[in-house]
Structure 1
């Protein structure tokens, strides 16, 4: 059995990206439950607030892509135009109104049999579900929320850091040992949340300097306050699938690497399929992987361990 090249030498963790979102509409309680049943190690909800300050598990500031809001006549007048697109902003809805909406599958090629069947979960419900599933399965099931559009929310008078702090502190889930990890593309907001709460922080990154010295300096700066980075997987390898050295560079300064997003049904080039892509990530020593199809990643990890 090969030794894993992760920072701690343990098998990489499979993060259920928006739940088992390859099978069920993203960010639903049944989707998170399915991910746990499939063996995912971590549940990942994106977070956005309602108009009255309740955090919901939603990826988009607009509701049209992943809910049935467009089919609700009562909400027709709430539609807004932005950049030529008609949508409904989550911060225009109170929690009681959001509770009436139902999730839909946003990817055309995926199963739509569950469209309109599942509610939009509040973050509190996700935390409660993770605790219950972890107890039933005899393990800790961390929750890994991403703060979405924090500055846009603040412009509407809603502070996601304050709302997150209230939720976690009330439940005793603040602190470095709590099974709640934080992520955000806005590193200033993420650092603010980490300093306020003490929970582990992972800096989402879409770009990094190509030059090794500049990239190293950037990673060293992040290592002063973050536990790890969460990079776009395309930063791991070049267009031919060759290692760019990011994982080794991050590990050298003590940063974990959580790469996103691995999907069975799209986006695995330059590899032949997602299993080959997962094997490549394992070989590099990636510490965790965001996956839409958790069962595929769990099976690939098991197969890799016995190579």
Structure 2
């Protein structure tokens, strides 16, 4: 298992105002604020503009979800289908590309080259959020995201963490579009293929993480949504088994706190195994898990001892952390 704690020190370097000291995190340092899909509460998710805004706001880490185009290019989308986050439906030249996969009738990234995706524009997929930026921003490649981070770091003299989630790796590998070598090469090209690099690779697919652990030095996080969901139950692995190939647990916040705000014990179990806990997802415009406001929810998670928080609204998470 890699030395996960390096991430804390590097992440906090991204924001000189980040509080340090007596926290209940695994390291005792302040928890990281991870911009979930960028500052996706304000701008269309997974765009260079959303990532830039998050970094400008002071987020310690940005999170791109990665899928693979038909010509083997990693691009940032939350889903392998395109209808909810792009304007593909308005492109008549791609009308015939619509087909059924995995029980859904849609347009699929498997069927588009990276160049073809450049003709699409991002839209706001979340109901109730500002749609005024729809149609303005491109779908970025992972290479463009890494270059953007490099440029921002050079300007700010800081370190920005990157926590990509590899989406549907088994399905892409079955289509001869294995994301693992593509990801490794991208990290290598940007000097991030190292144990102490400010990068964490996350996935719901334990098999992918096991493969990644065997060949790559970077830190890994097992995503965990529910023990009752086939695709989100740690693939049948116990927490002890996960600790053999991963360095952290990316847990659904509902798995950590009971309705009354007390701990379920999962965080303590993970910490005892040396696993950091990165919790998802805190959103200002959704009902809080505990308390009456998103600030109440953040305070409860921070007090519990989470090592990082995924949020669509980095400003709020940073403000509450600073107040604490």
Q: Give the Å deviation of 1:86.
A: 3.0
2:58 matches 1:48: no
Q: Partner residue of 2:56?
A: 37
**Aligned pairs for 1:1-307 within 5 A:** 3-82=22-101, 85-208=104-227, 218-304=238-324
Q: In structure 1, the residue corresponding to 2:59 is in which secondary structure? A: coil
Q: Partner residue of 1:213?
A: none
Q: CA RMSD in A?
A: 1.6
Q: Give the Å deviation of 1:268.
A: 1.6
Q: Give the Å deviation of 1:84.
A: 6.5
8 Å contact 1:103–1:119 — kept in the other structure? yes
Report the TM-score when normalising by structure 1: 0.93
Q: Give the Å deviation of 1:267.
A: 4.1
Q: Give the Å deviation of 1:221.
A: 2.0
Aligned CA distance change for structure 1 residues 165 and 3 (closer, same or farther; 3 Å): same
Question: Partners of 1:142 and 1:57 in 2: how far apart?
Answer: 16
Question: Partners of 1:85 and 1:168 in 2: how far apart?
Answer: 32
Q: Give the Å deviation of 1:190.
A: 1.3
Question: Partners of 2:186 and 2:157 in 1: how far apart?
Answer: 24
Per-residue displacement from partner, 1:106-144 (whole Å, max 9, x unpaired)?
012000111000000000010111111122222110111
Q: After the TM superposition, list the runs of 4 or more consecutive aligned residues in structure 1 that deviate by more than 6 angstroms.
A: none
Per-residue displacement from partner, 1:151-198 (whole Å, max 9, x unpaired)?
111121110111111222233321211222100000110121132121
Q: Give the Å deviation of 1:82.
A: 4.5
Q: Partner residue of 2:3?
A: none
8 Å contact 1:182–1:194 — kept in the other structure? no
Question: Partners of 1:65 and 1:208 in 2: how far apart?
Answer: 27
Q: In structure 2, the residue corresponding to 1:264 is in which secondary structure? A: coil
User: Which moves more between the two structures, 40-49 or 128-137?
Assistant: 128-137
User: Which moves more between the two structures, 32-41 or 188-197?
Assistant: 188-197
Q: Give the Å deviation of 1:293.
A: 0.3
Question: Partners of 1:19 and 1:108 in 2: how far apart?
Answer: 17
Report the TM-score when normalising by structure 2: 0.88
- Equivalenced residue count is 297
